[in-house]
Each structure stands twice: as structure tokens, then as C-alpha cells.
């Protein structure tokens, strides 16, 4: 087991290029099952979740080769089975994204329970409702068996919640189902849009990309393509906060400005100002972070929701940023009931956070943080702890960092390039604070 050892209090400054979107790469990898042709994917983040998804594809019989540092070529003409490997599936939530492509192309998928972050209950019902609407039969015990021996049929259906992964599963299944399928109350996050753009390159026609009603004009055969995965807006938000709490000046290169409008708006409310320079984002240094109250002096609130609302994956990051901002703010995590349960780690470091209920926390700042020994329960909580550690005085040790590695590529190397004092060490090693 490895851990990070961090000496805080150093401004993070320099130029940073975000990795490819983790939540875009995982469904896009799954979509390579929809064709016999080779698919070349570029800007793929080299993180453990991506590696697990590639191992799942290889176990089914697909050939996957890294042809560059962040480029992978996949050919699924040799798929020999439609039963997912249980141990591989339990590593990542995104294993369930293989259901749609397998069902559409082979008429069958046996899906063990998926893994992923323990941030509260995450329903599979929207996926199953989509497959049922497309004509699949579902048998559910511990595993879920999906069958469509005569193929899927185009349909018009309404999702009971705008689930990102269920929308992606429905898009992939519908792309290889001849006819027009209408998906209503669809998710429209940047990574959903990226998948839809790739499916268009593969031969499907999709109307309404970026909206909550998408019409997929499916075909009976899709072809190969080359696709570059878009920049990760969650990673960009994480590095904006890192610069903010440490007082650093940061230039973030090659962003999609449209994907960052809400993130910039909410972070400005917490006190962090940014400016766009073409497709690059500039975070000025030495900002005095001050939370803006609502009109009339009322308590401000940061709440997440389906796109284009503030992303759930950034609520932990916003909370860490708020600990260093003057004033108070309620962080309202509507989507997952366990996501705020890491805040005791920040309280241990000196943050003033009151948990109101499983979904809401009141943060009062700024508070001087001190280094402590903490553990990371999930990807985004791990990043929130990194943000706190880099702002803190003294040495922080973060354990269970494989959670952070699941979502952030070579995070320690990239932070060191910006001036951070961070080391990756074996958990048994003794550390002497400088």
C-alpha cells in the first residue's frame, strides 16, 4: 500500500494541461465493442479505472494495444463471450457500461454487480428500464442476465432520472439498433456529449446532443473511427481549487470553455476568480478568497445537480476550497448520501465544518489547516484531502491513495511540476517532517 506525504504551504504555480476525461474514456472504451473495425482513441487518461475497463474488454476477446502514452487502439472482432468477469467487474462502476454494447451486438450480456466509489446507493434501475424499453428481457438474481435473441427495437422512452451512465448505455445500445430511438430526460454532461459525438463518427446519427432529449437514428452496422477524448472538467476544477487555496498563479491549457461555465460561476461565489484566454483558463495568484452572500445578506449555498448544474464530482472540491475562504456556505450534495462523510478528516486538520445531515454541510472559513494522517475513502474525497494538505502547515500523510489514482493520472508528478512538495512512499516507511 502506498501513501502520499505532503509538505503544505507552497503556492502551486505554472502551466497545466488537463488529462482526458475519465468519465468520458470509460463509456467510449465500452463503445469499441459496437464494431468489428479498429477504433483508435487519443488523450486516454492512464489511470487504474481505464486499465480495468481495458482488461474487461480483453477478457471478452477484444484486442487492445497502447500505441502512445495516451493513445490506445482497440479491435473487438474476436469477442468470444458475453459474460463479464466477476473480479474485474467489481473493481469499477463502469463495468456496467459494457451491457449496452454487448446486448445490442450479441443479444446477450451477463453482468455481475459493478464496483466503484462507496458514496451512497447508485441505482441500476434506469439502465434496466432503458434496456426493457428497447425490448430486452431481464433476469435478476445476484447477477443480471440481459437477453434480446431477436435483437433490440427502436423506441421512445422517458428515464425516471437523468442518470449519466444509463444514458450512455442507452445511447450505445440504440446506435446499433436500426430505427429512431428517443431518449427523454437524458443526461447531457460533457462526457455524454463526447460519447455521442464518437457514435456519430461510427455511423449513427444523433439529434439533440447536449440537450435532455436525444434522438438516435441507429443502424445495423457501425464502423471504426479515430476519436480524441475531451479534457476532464472535473480535473480542471480540482486544479483551480488547488491554485486558489495555495495562492498560486495557474494557466490551464486547452480546455473546453463551455464545459466550465458553471464551475467558474460557483467557484467565483466561493471567492475564486478566473478568466478565459481563448481556450486556456487563467487563475490569478494571491487571491483573497471571500464567499459572496446571496442578495439581502442571506446564507449562500452550493448545490449539485444534473448538467448543466454544478457537477456532483466537484462538491468535495468546493467544500475544500470553502475552508480557506472568508465567510460561510452550505454545501448541499443532493445526489449521493455518503459523499460528505469524509469531512471528519478535514475537521481533524482544523477545518470548521458542521454536518447538518447526510446531504448538507456548513463550512465556515478561513481556517488555518495543519498536517495530519488521513485516509481517502473515494476519488474526489481524496482530491479534497490533497487540496487541504497542500494548503496546510506541516506534513500530511494520505493513505489509501489507490482511490486517488483511480481518477487522476500521475497526480503526484503533475503536482510536483507546479511546485508541490509531495512524495509517494510505501505505507510502512517512516517519514521525517522537514
Catalytic site residues?
A: 117
Residue 280 host element (H or E)? strand 280-283
Residue 80 host element (H or E)? none
Cell 455518503, located at residue? 338
**398/373 Cα distance (integer angstroms):** 6
Residue 372 host element (H or E)? none
**233/192 Cα distance (integer angstroms):** 13
Instruction: Give SS3 for 70.
Output: coil
**132/158 Cα distance (integer angstroms):** 12
Distance of CA 304 to the CA centre of its chain: 14
**122/177 Cα distance (integer angstroms):** 27
**159/243 Cα distance (integer angstroms):** 38
**94/53 Cα distance (integer angstroms):** 7
Give the count of alpha carbons within 13 A of 427, CB side only. Answer: 11
Q: What are phi and psi of 290, to 5 degrees?
A: -135, 125
Question: How many residues would you count in the chain?
Answer: 434
- Quote helix, strand, coil % in the chain, to nearest 5: 35, 25, 40
Amino acid at each position: 500500500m502506498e501513501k502520499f506525504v505532503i509538505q503544505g504551504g507552497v503556492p502551486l504555480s505554472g502551466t497545466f494541461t488537463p488529462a482526458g476525461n475519465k468519465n468520458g474514456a470509460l463509456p467510449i472504451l465500452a463503445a469499441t465493442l459496437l464494431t468489428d473495425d479498429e477504433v483508435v482513441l487519443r488523450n486516454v487518461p492512464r489511470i487504474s479505472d481505464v486499465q480495468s475497463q481495458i482488461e474487461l474488454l480483453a477478457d471478452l476477446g477484444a484486442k487492445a494495444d497502447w500505441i502512445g502514452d495516451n493513445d490506445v487502439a482497440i479491435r473487438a472482432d474476436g469477442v468470444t463471450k458475453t459474460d463479464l468477469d466477476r473480479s474485474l467487474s467489481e473493481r469499477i462502476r463502469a463495468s456496467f457500461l459494457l451491457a449496452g454494447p454487448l446486448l445490442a451486438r450479441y443479444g446477450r450480456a451477463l453482468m455481475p454487480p459493478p464496483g466503484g466509489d462507496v458514496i451512497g446507493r447508485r441505482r441500476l434501475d434506469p439502465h434496466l428500464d432503458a434496456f426493457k424499453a428497447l425490448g430486452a428481457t431481464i433476469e435478476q438474481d445476484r447477477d443480471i442476465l440481459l437477453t434480446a435473441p431477436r435483437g433490440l427495437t427502436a423506441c421512445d422512452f422517458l428515464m425516471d432520472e437523468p442518470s449519466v451512465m444509463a444514458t450512455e448505455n442507452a445511447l450505445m445500445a440504440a446506435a446499433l439498433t436500426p430505427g429512431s430511438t428517443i431518449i427523454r430526460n437524458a443526461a447531457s454532461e460533457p462526457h455524454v456529449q463526447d460519447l455521442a459525438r464518437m457514435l456519430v463518427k461510427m455511423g449513427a446519427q444523433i439529434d439533440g446532443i447536449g440537450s435532455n432529449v436525444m434522438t438516435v437514428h441507429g443502424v445495423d452496422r457501425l464502423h471504426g473511427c479515430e476519436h480524441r477524448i475531451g479534457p476532464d472538467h472535473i480535473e480542471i476544477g480540482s486544479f483551480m481549487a488547488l491554485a486558489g487555496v495555495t495562492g498560486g498563479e495557474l494557466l490551464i491549457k486547452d480546455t473546453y470553455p463551455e464545459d466550465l461555465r458553471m464551475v467558474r460561476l460557483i467557484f467565483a461565489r466561493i471567492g475564486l476568480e478566473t478568466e478565459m484566454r481563448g481556450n486556456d483558463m487563467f487563475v490569478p495568484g494571491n487571491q483573497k478568497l471571500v464567499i459572496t452572500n446571496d442578495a439581502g445578506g442571506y446564507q449562500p449555498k452550493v448545490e449539485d445537480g444534473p448538467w448543466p448544474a454544478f457537477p456532483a464530482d466537484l462538491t468535495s472540491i468546493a467544500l475544500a476550497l470553502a475552508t480557506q475562504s472568508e465567510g460561510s456556505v452550505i454545501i448541499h450534495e443532493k445526489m449521493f448520501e455518503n459523499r460528505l462523510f469524509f469531512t471528519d478528516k478535514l475537521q481533524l486538520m482544523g477545518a470548521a465544518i458542521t454536518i447538518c445531515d447526510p446531504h448538507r454541510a456548513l463550512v465556515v472559513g478561513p481556517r488555518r489547516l495543519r498536517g495530519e494522517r488521513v485516509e481517502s475513502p473515494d476519488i474526489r474525497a481524496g482530491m479534497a484531502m490533497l487540496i487541504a494538505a497542500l494548503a496546510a502547515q506541516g506534513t500530511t500523510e494520505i493513505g489509501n491513495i489507490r482511490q486517488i489514482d483511480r481518477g487522476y493520472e500521475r497526480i503526484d508528478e503533475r503536482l510536483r511540476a507546479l511546485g508541490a512538495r509531495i512524495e509517494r512512499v510505501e505505507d510502512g516507511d517512516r517519514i521525517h517532517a522537514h
